Amino acid sequence: MSDFDDANTLEAPIATAVLAHIVRSIVDDADAVNVTSGPGKGDKILLEVRVGPGDLGRVIGRRGRTAQSIRTVVRAAATNDDVDVDVDFVDA
């Protein structure tokens, strides 16, 4: 299960849930997925994704295409939350 920072997740619950679901479906160790949220640049919310060892490459994909696709879908989901989000994949 993912850990969520409850104070900020309430600002973008749909986007956070969509992000966690997508990343869990890609990685080998779904239990190691950790999504946290915090303030980003300007009015944006920053969603940070941490995955287990060896799974970061799977999430980023070749030439970053998978990561960019995930960002596009999550930004679209964030419109339901009436917020703008940035997604960052952090190497733990």
Map tokens 């960019």 to a residue. Answer: 68
Give pLDDT tens digits for 13-70.
Answer: 999 999 999 999 999 999 999 999 999 899 999 999 999 999 999 999 999 999 999 9
pLDDT given at position 11: 81
Tell me the Ramachandran region of residue 52: left when phi exceeds 0, alpha when psi lies from -120 to 50, beta otherwise. Answer: beta
pLDDT given at position 84: 95
pLDDT given at position 92: 67
3 has pLDDT over 60: no
E strands in the chain: 34-39, 45-50, 85-89
Taking residue 76's Cβ as centre, other Cβ atoms within 10 Å add up to: 11
Architecture of the structural domain at 6-89:
2-Layer Sandwich (3.30)
pTM for the model stands at 0.86
Q: Are 34 and 50 in contact (CB under 8 A)?
A: yes
Q: Are strands 85-89 and 45-50 parallel, antiparallel or unpaired?
A: parallel
pLDDT given at position 34: 94
